[in-house]
Structure 1
Amino acid sequence: MSYNKSSFHPAFIVTNIKNSVPIVLEMENVSYSSWAELFKIHAKSHKVLDHIIPPKTKAHPPSTDEEKGLWSTLDAMVISWIYSTISRDLLQTIIEPDATAMEAWDRLHDIFQDNQHSRVVALEHEFSSTAMEDFPNALAYCQRIKSLAD
Structure 2
Amino acid sequence: MASDLTTLQPINHILHSVPIKLELETSQYNSWSELFRTYCKAHDVLAHLTSETIPVSSSSKAVEITQETWDRHDAIVLQWIYATLLTELLKTILEKDLTAKKAWDRLKILFHDNQHSRALALMNQFTNCKLDNYPNISAYCHMN
Q: TM-score range by the shorter chain?
A: 0.7 to 0.9
**How far apart are the structure 2 equivalents of 1:108 and 1:2?**
23
Counterpart of 1:75 in structure 2 is 74
Counterpart of 2:30 in structure 1 is 33
- In the alignment, structure 1 segments of 5+ residues that lack a partner are 145-150
CA RMSD of aligned residues (A): 3.1
Q: TM-score, normalised by structure 1?
A: 0.72
Taking every aligned residue pair, what percent have the same amino acid on both sides? 38
The answer to whether the 8 Å contact 2:11/2:80 transfers is: no
Q: Could you say if the C-alpha distance between residues 38 and 129 of structure 1 is closer, same or farther in structure 2, counting changes exceeding 3 Å?
A: farther
Q: TM-score, normalised by structure 2?
A: 0.75
**How far apart are the structure 2 equivalents of 1:84 and 1:117?**
27
Q: Which has the larger radius of gyration?
A: 2
Aligned length: 133
The answer to whether the 8 Å contact 1:76/1:100 transfers is: yes
Please identify, of 112-121 and 7-16, the stretch whose mean Cα deviation from structure 2 is larger.
Answer: 7-16
Counterpart of 1:121 in structure 2 is 120
- In the alignment, structure 2 segments of 5+ residues that lack a partner are 58-63
Give matches, 1:1-150, under 5 Å.
1=1, 10-12=7-9, 15-54=12-51, 59-60=55-56, 67-129=66-128, 138=138, 141-142=141-142
